[in-house]
Structure 1
Amino acid sequence: MRLNIFIVLLFTLYAEGHLLKCYRCTGIMGPCGNEEMSCSTEDAVCASQTTVQSIGNASQSVQTKNCFEPKMCVNGSVNLGITRTAITMQCCNTDLCNRRDASDLSSNPNGKQCYYCNKKSCLKKLSCAGTEDHCIKAKANSVSMSMTLKGCASRSMCDVLSQVSEVFTDVSCCQGNLCNSAKSITQNLLHLLTWPFISYIMFH
């Protein structure tokens, strides 16, 4: 019995000793600090993430460092006309390897066009930028209603949004110009997309 207890304790100490250590911090409009933390699972990776949220001519940059699931290590952007979210992540799997901040993604036009929705319809055309090589269409769910969203997206962001079933449903992406259809619909709560999306990417 004592031998079994010893083996269990030894295994526990061994497992804990191999959890990855990462830097953890969040910085608004600039670099963040470098607090150390141990990841809670063995398959986690260290990541440095830069999220740039643009609404009209205003933008906000958030630097984040933390432990992440490998599947959440993405680089790309989603542009919905009124708001654009661009995420750059650098992921690594050695202790404290996420010291360096991730750089911003390009926002230069790339020649592709997709439809997007304003408060009245989805008949507007949007010029895509950077790595946004797909048109996207999805439904965003709030507490009291569901709304259709359209715009430009990087392929990697299409994949991520498809996994966020508690926020987005019926996510579909296509590659041709204006391939996400021009069907006119009424929109009311487009601004609700912004922070639920960022919060999921940053903290899940």
Structure 2
Amino acid sequence: MDLQLSVSLLFILFTAGHSLKCYECLNPAGSCVGQQTETTCPAGSTQCTSTILGAQFGGISSTANSKACAPACLPQSYNVGILRLTTTCCNTDLCNLQDVPEPVATGKSCYYCDAKTCSNTVKCSGIEDRCVNGTGNVAFGLSTVVKGCVSKSLCDAASASGVKTLTCCEGDLCNGAQSVTQSVLFLCCSLLSYFLMH
């Protein structure tokens, strides 16, 4: 009995002082490899994250990467044609060493919107197993239509938070085509600023 108590106390002493270590980086112009630094996460952070954000406007494309500590994390991914984001999560020291790998296509397709129409299609990849259809106010009283591929975790989070303007479906091209009158450029700028600020 004394041996079990001693082992238990020893385990508590060793684990109580351990803080998670993650790589940290924000590179708005490419990879974090070679630019990341080790950091000891603050109390309450139990996850390391890696995120990749890709944007494409006309013939111009850019990719940003970030790595950080997080109090909680769910793997998530979305692709709305001109903007895509994927976040991976892990919970061991320095587990976010590599950038998010390029996801593999799933074979599913969804509609997405550009500045003129919502009848474009995008191929889903990685954990994107749903199509999304939504509207929202982005800035200055303007609203926009959002369509594309999303992961189940994003659909669940939107549903749990009470977002009523977002619906997810599971069939191929199930989010329907329609015309759009507002530019999704405002939405992309909002999402990009959110990504860079967090």
TM-score by length of 2: 0.70
CA distance in 2 between partners of 1:109 and 1:95 (Å): 31
2:21 matched residue in structure 1: 21
CA distance in 1 between partners of 2:193 and 2:164 (Å): 17
Which consecutive residues of structure 2, in runs of 5 or more, have no partner in the other structure? 1-13
Counterparts of 1:111-122 in structure 2 under 5 Å?
A: 112-122=108-118
CA distance in 2 between partners of 1:97 and 1:118 (Å): 36
Instruction: Calculate the aligned-residue CA RMSD, in Å.
Output: 3.3
1:128 matched residue in structure 2: 123
CA drift of 1:190 comes to: 0.7
Q: Percent identity?
A: 33
1:196 matched residue in structure 2: 190
Residue 31 (structure 2) pairs with residue 30 (structure 1) = yes
Given residue 25 of structure 1, which amino acid in structure 2 is its aligned partner?
Answer: C
Residues 151 and 48 (structure 1), Cα distance of their counterparts in 2 relative to 1, 3 Å cut: closer
Residue 197 of structure 1 aligns to a residue whose secondary structure is helix
Counterparts of 1:52-71 in structure 2 under 5 Å?
A: 52-71=54-73
CA distance in 2 between partners of 1:164 and 1:55 (Å): 30
Residue 48 of structure 2 aligns to a residue whose secondary structure is strand
CA distance in 1 between partners of 2:195 and 2:46 (Å): 15
Note if contact 2:51-2:99 (Cα within 8 Å) is conserved in structure 1: yes
CA drift of 1:195 comes to: 3.8
CA drift of 1:17 comes to: 4.0
Instruction: State the number of aligned residues.
Output: 181
Which consecutive residues of structure 1, in runs of 5 or more, have no partner in the other structure? 1-13
CA distance in 1 between partners of 2:17 and 2:150 (Å): 40
Given residue 190 of structure 2, which amino acid in structure 1 is its aligned partner?
Answer: P
Given residue 23 of structure 2, which amino acid in structure 1 is its aligned partner?
Answer: Y
TM-score by length of 1: 0.69
Counterparts of 1:18-167 in structure 2 under 5 Å?
A: 18-27=18-27, 28-32=29-33, 33-71=35-73, 73-79=74-80, 81=81, 83-89=82-88, 91-106=89-104, 108=105, 110=107, 112-122=108-118, 124-131=119-126, 132-145=128-141, 146-160=143-157
CA distance in 1 between partners of 2:59 and 2:75 (Å): 25
CA distance in 2 between partners of 1:60 and 1:160 (Å): 27
